[in-house]
Chains A and B, each alone.
Chain A
Amino acid sequence: MCLGIPGELVELPEDDTDLALVTVSGVRRKVNVGLLRDEEELAVGDWILIHVGFALAKIDEEEAASALRVLHQLGPAYDQELQDFATSDVG
């Protein structure tokens, strides 16, 4: 729950739901980017840090790699989080 997962934006929201398409370690899911709307200009290819289905911060690629390193080092806890993310269906 407390893990921040880095994801890459694949498609920007097409309607007012704030749901963008994101890939995380090869898994594609919808993520809410409404919390970044005010301050950040989002573009396809941007990296974001995701918490429980919401993007909390825009990050650069280097930070995305750093966050992934931390997650991989977690082992089973990350596998579980990724599995939970993969089953998430918010659309």
Chain B
Amino acid sequence: MRFVDEFRDPDTARHLARGIAELCEPGRRYAFMEVCGGHTHTIYKHGLEDHLPENVRLVHGPGCPVCVLPMGRVDDAIAIAEHDDVIMTAFGDMMRVPGGRGSFFDAKAAGADIRMVYSPLDALKIARNNPDKRVVFMAIGFETTAPSTAMTVLRAQAEGLENFAVFANHVTIIPAIKAILDSPDLRLDGFLGPGHVSTVIGCRPYEFIARDHGKPLVTAGFEPLDILASVHQLMRQLAEGRCEVENQYSRVVPWNGNRRALEVIGQVMELRPWFEWRGLGFISHSAMQLREEFAAFDAERLFDVPGVRVADPKACQCGEVLKGVLEPWECKVFGTACTPETPIGTCMVSSEGACAAYYNFGRFSRARVREATLLADPVVRR
């Protein structure tokens, strides 16, 4: 029944699920990491793990940019926002992320002028309309949103706007995957490559994962069927002794990415020597800042940013969840002290965070699937 409800093409879904089961070597356990928060969302929403054999596990990686932002950067942003002449602008996802001294919502309630925007271009317009204020855009995201920030800075420069700046927190996916690969406490058999990030960077940057680390990667689309098809491709590579980068999402992702997007990122931004990731610690060359030529638009140079470092709350185990070492429900505070309404950790904030996705969907889909399994489908083993 569920195949009919959830999948665009239930026959193909059933076929893929059976194919994955048939490709399993007896006695072997498989773990694949999806590094994209959008994939995590789809997996939990549709209870995809329940369509997989018990020895095939999906591990949720650090692919949600809100989730990996360290608390100190939130505090730094709030310190900027507290200037009387500043309007801080941010994506909606950012508003509830807890810093050491509270969230953007808390700062707003306390009097700071913080506004939600859909696009950095909205922030630019606010700057145009408020020439007596300094408008700062809280830039977050992987390579998916970095070109938008870069394009907006170029636009501000072209217009000669002097009251617009960016607080850059853009991170890059490859160093995070490297950190995961070097992590001693995790054994993975392959990766589901991120969909939208790859639209920008293409599939070529992943080749080292197959070549140097011996792990296959399949760039995946976002429908439940895409995820199943990608897992099937990974299983087939392992069964055939291949280790390659494949592109399941080629209908959107070009092998070489979006050239213009990569160009503008490179024109406006450069790699930081290091950046702190929530849960993963300091990773070298893993984030971007504005180049010297764009200092006039760089909030970090224009404001006295305190550079706050805040240890994650002791009870919070986001770090282990982000590395895939713990499942969300294994965290000590999951669903009790930490819920989407009162998040302690970032994984519970964004709808793409593993904890929020599991809290909202996973719990129910698991129960539902178990029920359906008893009634119908012989492919589902749990």
Contacts and interface: CB of A to CB of B under 8 A. Distances in A.
Nearest to A76: B351
Among B66, B121, B199, B223, residue most surrounded by chain A Cβ atoms (within 10 Å): B121
Chain B interface residue count: which class? 35 or more
Contacts of B94: 1
A57 interface: yes
B124 A90 contact: yes
A39 B41 CA distance: 31
A89 B41 contact: no
B265 to A, nearest CB: 10
A49 B253 CA distance: 11
Contacts of A35: 147, 151, 258, 260-261, 264
A90 B129 CA distance: 12
Interface stretch (B137-145, B208-216, B368-376): B137-145
Nearest to B91: A1
Given A60-B251, A74-B45, A90-B122, A67 B222 contact: yes
A57 B196 CA distance: 9
A70 interface: yes
Contacts of B261: 35, 56
A76 to B, nearest CB: 8
B307 to A, nearest CB: 25
Interface string B105-129: 0000000000011111110110000
A59 B258 CA distance: 13
Nearest to A78: B351
B260 A69 contact: no
Given A35-B151, A74-B41, A57 B140 contact: no
Interface in B75-94: 91-94
A52 B258 contact: no
7 contacts: A39-B258, A51-B144, A52-B120, A53-B121, A87-B118, A88-B121, A88-B122
Interface of B: 8, 37-38, 41-42, 45-46, 64-66, 91-94, 116-122, 124-125, 140-141, 144-145, 147-148, 151, 155, 195-196, 199-200, 221-223, 251-254, 258-261, 264, 351-352
